[in-house]
Amino acid sequence: MNIVKWWWGLLLCFGLVALGRVFLPLPFAIEVLIFSIYTMGCNYLLGRVGFISFGQPAYLAVGAYAAAFYFFYLGNNPYLGLLIGIVVGMVVSLIIGPLFVRLRGDYFALVNLALAVIIFYLMQKVLANVTHGDNGLWFLTSLTATPILDLTRPDQFFIFAFLAAFALWVFYKYLDDTIFGALCLATKMNDDKVKSLGYSNFNIRLVAFVIANTTTAFAGAMYAVYLGFVSPAITGPERAADPVVVTILGGVGTLYGPLVGSVVYTGLKDVLSKVLGNWELVIGFLLVFIMLAGERGIWGSLEPQLRRLFTRKAAGGVSQ
Amino acid sequence: MSSKDLVLAVSGLNVAYNESKVLFDVDLNVRRNQVVACVGRNGAGKSTMLKTIAGFMRPTSGTITSDGESLIGRAAFVIADMGIKYIPQDKKVFSDLTVRENLELGSYASQDYDWMPVFDYFPKLKVLLDRKAGYLSGGERQMLMIGRAILGRPKMLLVDEPTEGLAPSIVMHLRAVFSELAKKTALVIVEQNLPLVCAIADKIYALKEGRIMAELTERASIKPEMCEPYL
């Protein structure tokens, strides 16, 4: 019964995104999907493990630049570029993870922010002869058409992004239902108690860190393929809070939060930036409102209402 | 008796919080299936002793061994994996997880998926399986914590103030459970409830200001009035 329920929700959400593709501009729909994948990692870290990270752009840049280096210097197969982005993201997370996951709270947030700043300056200045600094790496025209889904065509890229986001949602839902998902929540709630049961918090956090940041690197590689261009702006410190903002907007730790947050954030950005110069101000007020309204985010607040509505309808149906 | 016959042997244990010394040359021995109680006033160092044995604190000096193996320097999760389970005083369960998920965490760690012994001791947990642990009463939380800890048949339970703040009927229930558990595992209980302690303990250590002041080993001497001077 539960399986039916969550599949319903998932199909409804993705059905709306697919429908949105008909009415909304294609770039907007693609941006929402990639951004929701980008946010999924942050959502898992924050909602399940209790890690707040202001350094997600660093992992996004790792995936984006890994793919970009491949496209610019080595080859031109978009699928291979995505795979390289994922693998490099995983390797970097495995190297950095053991150092970072020992930290908690503020220190974890700030050490990740520091990493984003380091990567920004590495790409902008230190490695400028390889990365072309602020000019970035351009490779859109060199990407080759691929069979089945041609990722060089935006309409087919949308289908790929849609399927990838859907698969990742199913994966994270599955993760939530496993003993590992329960352990992540447990370590967020009470470190010592997890240890007293015989588990290593370090290992739990490390695995979660690698999963989340590999997801983020995948989003980075998707940006590289979709835009055909990568510059240091992708890891700019001024964008460091974006995934955290979207996570909070959508609802921390909720399954649909990243998608809802991405739709609202990207939508507001697109609509408001045409009317208002300082659209971030509206996002700021929205965040303040959400925090004051109970810290549950948009989906987190809607979910109980929807559940009540559907339960009432189901009960009504039975009594008839 | 050699240290290999002891499920726990603590010798010359000194523990400090930074500059503030809390335990002074503590010696303590626990045999298999023995119930050992530690009594003393608040601040006597009882909980610190349990936390140190469980690996949550590092002693400044002294030895702690279990079945001849040193526990010093081992991580808390490794000590738990060796079958020494610590049940803290705070009664904090994983509140966002259900009772079932809480038990599953215990099962997965110990690879023991037989919950019948848990339900034999605490039948109430069986009907609460799908309830979020955060909604349990204090007594139910304590049952869950003990139930989760006994999965995997640990060789020793370190239980910190298990009856604190609980209703008399629950205390009676726990007393019966501890008596039963003692047939299968060693118990080290830190407790201020003297009637309970005296009813189940085979040995009592009385702590005062971080030092062991008395060790009552004769069953006949284990009486509340013998412990009262240390409370």
- pLDDT tens, residue order, chain A (320 aa): 444 466 666 677 777 777 777 777 888 889 989 999 999 999 999 988 989 889 899 999 999 999 999 999 999 999 999 999 999 999 999 999 999 999 987 899 999 999 999 999 999 999 999 999 999 999 988 899 988 899 999 999 999 999 999 899 889 989 988 999 999 999 988 888 899 889 999 999 999 999 999 999 999 999 999 999 999 998 887 888 888 888 888 888 887 888 888 888 888 888 777 777 777 788 888 888 877 877 778 888 777 777 777 776 666 654 43
Instruction: Please tell me the distance from the alpha carbon of residue A48 to that of residue A42, in angstroms, as a whole number.
Output: 10
Distance from C-alpha of B178 to C-alpha of B201, rounded to nearest angstrom: 10
- What pTM value is reported for the model? 0.84
ipTM: 0.79
Q: Find the helix or strand (DSSP H, E) in which B187 lies.
A: strand B186-190
Find residues 95-134 of chain B whose CB sits inside 8 Å of chain A.
95-97, 101, 104-106, 108-110
The answer to whether B58 contacts chain A (CB < 8 Å) is no
The contacts of residue B15 (CB under 8 Å, 6+ apart) are B21, B22, B23, B45, B48, B49, B52, B57, B59, B60
Q: How far is B130 from chain A (nearest CA, A)?
A: 13
Which of B56, B77, B96 comes nearest A198 by C-beta? B77
Mind listing the domains of chain A with CATH numbers?
Answer: 2-319 (1.10.3470)
Query: Do the Cβ atoms of A250 and A39 come closer than 8 Å?
Result: yes
For residue B106, give the nearest of A185, A190, A197 by CB distance. A197
Average pLDDT, chain B: 90
Whether residues B94 and A193 touch (CB distance < 8 A) is answered with: yes
Judged by a CB distance cut-off of 8 A, whether residue A252 touches chain B is no
Domains of chain B: 3-94+137-230 (3.40.50.300)
